Amino acid sequence: MAKKTQAVMVTTEFRGVFFGYLESIDGGTAVLTKARNCIYWSADVKGFMGLATTGPTKSCKIGPAVPRITLLNVTSVVECEEAAIKAWEASPWSM
């Protein structure tokens, strides 16, 4: 499993897709810091796994960061590549 404070993308049972830094994980509950959510990702990302590999593009809708979030009913925790981290932190949002 991912190390503490590692950049990860988390999905939930309710189809939520979140990026942040893993503070803790216990069963189906994960706590992220500096967390953002993906409202919409475009086809050029190549699916939700692309969000962890290359990150969101300018065609995606990424919400602003919150200091800390507790996510329930976690279905996956994916370690992020460096390129993805930079793209998530840029928080693209197209109109």
CA nearest 56: which of 22, 92, 21? 92
Distance in angstroms (rounded) separating the CA atoms of residues 93 and 36: 12
Per-residue pLDDT, 28: 96
Domain of 65: which CATH number? 2.30.30.100
Global pTM? 0.90
Per-residue pLDDT, 95: 55
Per-residue pLDDT, 94: 59
Question: Is 77 part of a structural domain of the chain?
Answer: yes
Number of helices (H), then strands (E), belonging to the chain: the values are: 2, 6
pLDDT above 80: residue 32:
yes
Q: What's phi and psi for 64, nearest 5 deg?
A: -70, 160
pLDDT in tens, 62-84: 999 999 999 999 999 999 999 99
Question: Is 78 part of a structural domain of the chain?
Answer: yes
Question: Is 1 part of a structural domain of the chain?
Answer: no
Domain of 22, in residue numbers: 7-90
Percent of the chain with pLDDT over 90: 86
